[in-house]
Structure 1
Amino acid sequence: MNTYQNFNKSLEHRFINYAKIDTQSDPESPTCPSTLKQKNLGELLVKELLEIGINDAEIDENGYVYATIPSTTTKNVPVICFCSHMDTSPDCSGENVKPIIHNNYQGEDLVLPDETSIVIKLAEHEDLQHQIGNDIITASGTTLLGADNKAGVTEIMEAANFLIKNPDVKHGTIKILFTPDEEIGRGVEKADLKKLAADFAYTIDGETLGSIEDETFSADGATLTINGVSTHPGFAKNKMENAIKILAEILDALPKDKLTPETTSGKEGFIHPVSIKGQVEQAEAQFIIRDFTDEKLTEHQNLLKKTTESILKKYQNSTYILDIKEQYRNMKQVLDQFPKIVDYGVKAIERAGVKAKKQSIRGGTDGSRLSYMGLPCPNIFAGEHAFHSKQEWVSVQDMEKAVQTIINIACIWEENS
């Protein structure tokens, strides 16, 4: 059987081309996609898919890209989808990204040329220790790189190109889905699963080489609004109840030595304020609430509510509204019902010559939402590291292994059907 090879550095060229396109999403925008510039990448992907020979490639009005790789077998094989997101994080600029290839990495700290204070240090990036001799791609120091998730997009595109050009490789029907707005929690909100018509899926959006993730956080968003009492400050004695100060007291009263992102790891959850705004009369804080079980999420919500009520006892004329919205749920609850999906993912990684590592994500992927929409979907490594930051990096060789893993998954489903 033919095996994937990175001929003429096609993978690097493809990734760098995608990384240069600004696709940053915007949580404040109500549209889908939240930024029209995401469609610039989507339209390029459709053009390339059509050039590869995938005739049904299309982008819809919401910025979702759909395509089908036809079956090459007479067997009745479940339809598998590979999915990655096109947007990059709002946490760090994605404009004018200048990717740099550091060939034959030898363990040195990587000083980024456009902002020399940004240094990717071997001592701070454990996975760099496994990259000796590999080729590392970074940005130049003023932006993120966008490997989250353009590494995954690149890998799916490389695998699609390989499978179309090698029809002797036996596989069932394969669907491709590229989504907008994953970074702002809306990645599959308007995905047309009827059009997609897949049985199972894999997101290609993980970190370390060999990782396969079948468990994510469960996630809620919370908006806490404090309605205070505003009066003229010159005549405010015993009348004013400053919503800004009340909100500050509530934030200060929340735990500091636990239940925060900076004090938790592993299976520990948190209550995390991510933005505040307000005036004397009304102030608002946005939170993300995370844990691995729904029961723990409820505990965290109740703690936020009790803390708020405790502080407001001092302010008899002020009120609050706590609005909780479900964001996504731990996909393990769904995936445990379909063990083959993860098992075949593990086998595909090992067939690529890599030790598979089953892990939990302290975060979420499109797969979390897809699993609960009826498309069970674990997450496969893409090789991206230090995402959402100017220190983001990816290894070319890890990306090559991800491409091989995608191809292997397709073959293993066919072999076992």
Structure 2
Amino acid sequence: MTKILLINAGSSSLKWQLVKMPAEHVIASGQVERLNLPGTIVKVEVGGKKTKEVVETLDEITAIDRVLKRLITVGGVETLDEVEAVGHRVVAGGTLFKGPVKLIPSRINQLKELSELAPLHNPLEVKCIELLAQRLSGVPQYAVFDSAYFHGLPEKTAIYGIPYEWTKKYQIRRYGEHGISHQFLAQQAAEMLDKPLSELNLITMHLGSGASITAVKDGKPFDTSMGLTPVTGVMMGTRSGDVDPTLVPYLMKRLDLETPEVVIQELNASSGLLGVSGVSSDMRDLHEAAKKNSRAKLALDMFVTQVVKLVGGYYTEIGGADALVFAGGIGEKDPEIRQAIIDGLSILGIKIDATLNVAGNTGSLEATDSRAKVLLIPTNEELAMARGVQQLMENEG
């Protein structure tokens, strides 16, 4: 049995699990929410016992140190020497990484070089990798890539309408993100529907501070909302989502900038729900603020509208869907947003049962006369990561 520590560092949260493989037994798990925001929330679960505390603002590095400390104090391990491997979710692998890899210095340097493909994530993930290399010296570390799931996208959805020579020479394409989650959701949906995945059309929605939507046709990814970088698709916590590309030189001129870096940073870190509302990037804050604040209400409406637009487009693109899947922090925990999205899709004959939706239990949420199933499936990127790391370790042996 191998104890693997899994680190899933996102733009606003850090999830972790200590898993015993190959039994897939979760020894301890937790989540640090509201990273870099006042009132960071630290949750830990061991043996069915849950604890929650609100602390001063934590960043990703101080959150990692707290996780390691909690592993010992809550009984996950007696000593950190029991951790035999670390697996990291890495957002952007570009065309270099098509599957999980063991992290060695040259590969870590390659991850740094890919930072422009995921400016909010890859630099952060490299920091976590380097910190854990110090804290857990000698423990092998592995990377599992979000982008790997989308390497097989058909060219007609994977590339942009730019000169084809640019596409090939500079490897410009839709890389997609949240692939670990979308793959897990598709597999779980197939089990839930008791059908072979190869026979299913699905639309999986990973809706959180980072949000992406994927169309699955005949069991394989066919299209996805994030593109060359994770800033595209629907608006998110701090990311703009799709904008006219000429917005960048336009703002450079208006702001008297000589390089685009400031605008790109603002599109990634100061836009989306935060930028429109002026209140917060957190959906929970926006629901409360929207009672009196018109900009907060506008941000919520824009988010729902953009999700509906993409889901509706994917529905026609793949010739209908057997099921729509909600996951992610918003998708799993926000019945108001789920209801609004499905209401926006009513023209397609998709309906949600209001009682089931409010209850928010894993499983089917659709009304009896809905044309497609509506599933709530909590994503488990960490389990998918553990399987990838375990397979790689077995191949090494």
Question: 1 or 2 for the larger relative contact order (CA 8 Å, sep ≥6)?
Answer: 1
Range class of TM-score, shorter chain = under 0.3
Q: TM-score, normalised by structure 1?
A: 0.25
Q: TM-score, normalised by structure 2?
A: 0.26
More helix by share: 2
